[in-house]
Every structure is written in structure tokens, then in C-alpha cells.
Amino acid sequence: MSAKTSAYTTDRPVGRADEPTDGTVDAVVIGGGAAGLNGALMLARSRRSVVVIDSGTPRNAPAEGVHGLLGLDGTPPAELLARGREEVRRYGGTVRAGEVVEAAAAPPSADGDPRFAVALADGDVLRARRLLVATGLRDVLPEVPGLAEHWGHGVVHCPYCHGWEVRDRPVGVLAVGPASVHHALLFRQLTDDLVYFTRGTALDADTRERFAARGIRVVDTPVEQVVPAGDGGIAGVRLADGLVVPRSVLAVATSMWARAEGLAGLGLPMRDLPGGAGRHFAAGPAGLTEVPGVWVAGNATDPTAQVGASAAAGALAGAHMNADLAVADTDRALALARRENAHA
């Protein structure tokens, strides 16, 4: 990484014996969503020097509000993140816009404490003792003409995130595999007018009977395209035989892929979701990975987590990172004291 190195300072007391003096910060957080910001908040409140790298492309950007978050239900995502950034900065943390182009382990300190180098698209390189990966994920929609244009509005994926807002409307479920069956049952709780488009996926007799018992109409004719309405919404679904099934909302389970751009150098293990539904970072309790000094939190490791769960995971990871740093600081101080005593 032949780039300029940036050192970040906070309002914490400087010159403490347990702090690196080479511009290395305690932690770099890659990702400025709920998980990353809450992890950074925990670290900053523990008087750790922390830098959050925010690409500015949150998964929930198209949503009008965050839901299922006690006390903040309905808050626009941009507003929630703006509050989070301000809170991190209030405790001396740094939040900066940027994109990571390469993150990798660097030579450890003389006493074996991990070190990482994080190169940004603007040429800066940050040095850190610990990393929190909170990059989130990317939703991939099935390739149905006209579908992607309505993502986050007329096209939804999560009954808990958007269900109340589409209640009692004509909803169509576009099947992508076996998981779509349960998807349909969840949306049936929200509307009496539900159509299940099989799109070539198998649907056994028992499931068809269960759907019929709940008043769910099944359409086996292939889907050709999503038909737009004059007001910018959805008018319906055109089938291969030319018939248009009126629908104003379409529910579809996306495939979910952890954002891993620039992180290959860390060697973080990943796991595939069942049925080819995506991939995520593997992590243990509190988000600890197999790579010493690296934690993962939020949708990057838990694809189904809503904002509240992602924020909680970030807080837990941040607390464990601080605890790990506290042990390392004590080990260093003890080694220094023993050396001094030996020469006394």
C-alpha cells in the first residue's frame, strides 16, 4: 500500500503509556450503518480512538422509515444514521466518508499486538490495532423486467420492515425457491388479497392445499414483466400468456451477499446461505472471526437482522473489542514494568 498515512486524534488524554505513538488508532470500523456506528459508539465511550469509514450506501436507503426499533419506529434511515454519526463524534470518534479499496493485516507490534492497514480510495491509509467489519449486504433481485425500478417501494422483501405499510393491499409473492412458501404465509397475515406466482418453482399438493385454505391464489403461468402504473407505482404482473394480474405490491425474497469489496486481504472465512441465497462472513460469539483482531457485525454476518438487531450486534462487538484491547494494554504495561524492574 503505497499511499499517504493519516493519523486521527480525539479529545482523549494523550501520551498515555498504553497508547501507540505511531499514528495507529485503536480501531477502524468499516461501514457506517447501525452496526458500525453502534460499535464505534461503544469504543469511543470507552475512550478508544476509533475511525468509522462510511461509504454512504446503506442497504435501507430506499425505505421511508426504520421499523421494529423501539422508541424510534418510523424514523427515516438517513435521520437515524445522522444522529448516530453525531453521537460517535460527541465522544471523540471520527466518522469520515470513503471507500475501502484494500484492508489487510500488517506486521504486529513488537509485543505481538495485531496491526492492520486500511487503504482508502482517496489514497489515505489508516493504521489500526483492531477492525470491525460492518459493511452490510447487497440485495439481489430476480431478473424480472420492471422489478428493480420499484425496489423499496412497490417491491418489498421483509414483512416486518414493510408489512404494516402494505397491509390490505393486493400483494403478489414472486417465488424464488422453497423459502418463498413461508414468505407467502407471513404476508398473508397482512392482506386477504394474496397471489403466489410460482415462477417455475416446485409447489407440492400439500402446500397448494394449505394455500387454498388460507385463500392464497396460485398462478403457475410464467411471469413476463412487472407492469408500471401511471402514478409511478405498480399496476400488476403480466404473464407469458398476455394476462395482467392486478397487484400494487410485490414481495420477493432477495439473495443476500455480504459486501466484501476490498476485504479479500483479511482472509475472513465466509459461508454460503442455503439454496444459493447469498453469502455472508462467518463469525462466532460477539462477532469474533477466525482472524485475530477482526470482528464482524450486522447484516455482513447476520443477513436477516433488522436495524435493532444489527445495532445490538455492533454494540456487543465493540464491547468485546474494548475488552480485548484492555487485556493487550495490560500485557504491554506489565512487560514494560518488568523490564524496568529488571534494570533497577
Same structural domain for residues 271 and 123? Answer: yes
Structurally, the chain folds into a number of domains equal to 2
pLDDT, tens digit, 9 for 90 and up, residues 44-63: 999 999 999 999 888 877 88
Confidence (pTM):
0.91
- Asked if pLDDT for residue 251 goes beyond 90, the answer is yes
Alpha-carbon torsion angle 62, 64, 69, 70, nearest 10: 170
Domain end position, chosen among 251, 274, 298: 251
Q: Domain range holding 180?
A: 142-251
pLDDT of 182 over the 50 cut: yes
Residues 80 and 211 in one domain: no
Contacts of 88 (CB under 8 A, 6+ apart): 37, 40, 41, 44, 50, 52, 95
| Residues 126 and 147 both lie in one domain | no
Model pLDDT for residues 263-280, shown as the tens digit of each residue: 999 999 999 998 888 999
| 54 and 115 inside one domain | yes
Q: In the beta sheet, which residues pair with residue 280?
A: 271
Residues 98 and 153 placed together within one structural domain of the fold: no
Q: Do 260 and 129 share a structural domain?
A: yes
Helix (H, G, I), strand (E, B) or coil at 16: coil
Give the three-state DSSP class for 78.
helix
Confidence of residue 10 (pLDDT cuts 50, 70, 90): very low
Digit-coded pLDDT (tens) for 51-104: 999 998 888 778 888 988 889 999 999 999 999 999 999 999 999 999 999 999
- Looking at 187, 218, 251, the residue that finishes a domain is 251
Q: pLDDT tens, 218-230?
A: 999 999 999 999 9
288 and 170 inside one domain? no
Q: Look at the alpha carbons of 299, 301, 304, 308 in this order and tell me if their dihedral is positive or negative.
A: negative
DSSP code of residue 337: H
Statement: residue 5 has pLDDT above 80: no
Q: Are residues 206 and 276 in the same domain?
A: no
Element containing residue 325 per DSSP (H, E): helix 307-343
- Assess whether pLDDT exceeds 90 at residue 7: no
**Averaged over 184-200, what is the pLDDT?**
97
User: Same domain for 95 and 214?
Assistant: no
Pair 117, 252: CB distance under 8 Å: no
Domain match, 114 and 46 both:
yes
Which domain CATH number covers 15?
Answer: 3.50.50.60
Which of 193, 225, 251 is the C-terminal boundary of a domain?
251
Within 8 A by CB and 6+ apart from 314, the residues are: 34, 35, 36, 37, 38, 39, 40, 42, 132, 134, 297, 298
CA–CA distances in Å: residue 175 to residues 115, 121, 145, 179, 181: 46, 39, 15, 8, 8
How far is 281 from 289, CA to CA, in rounded Å?
9
What residues does 121 pair with on adjacent strands? none
Same-domain check for residues 13 and 127: yes
Residue 124 has pLDDT above 50, yes or no: yes
Select the more confidently predicted residue: 31 or 275: 31
pLDDT above 90 for 143? yes
Phi, psi values for residue 79, rounded to 5°? -65, -45
- The β-bridge partners of 180 are none
pLDDT of residue 4: 54
Is there a single domain that holds both residue 165 and residue 237?
yes
Q: Could you write out the DSSP letters of every residue in 202-253?
A: ---HHHHHHHHHTT-EEE-SPEEEEEEPTTSSEEEEEETTS-EEE-SEEE-P
- If pLDDT is split at 50, 70 and 90, which confidence band does 13 have? very low
Pairwise pLDDT comparison (208 vs 19), residue with the higher score: 208
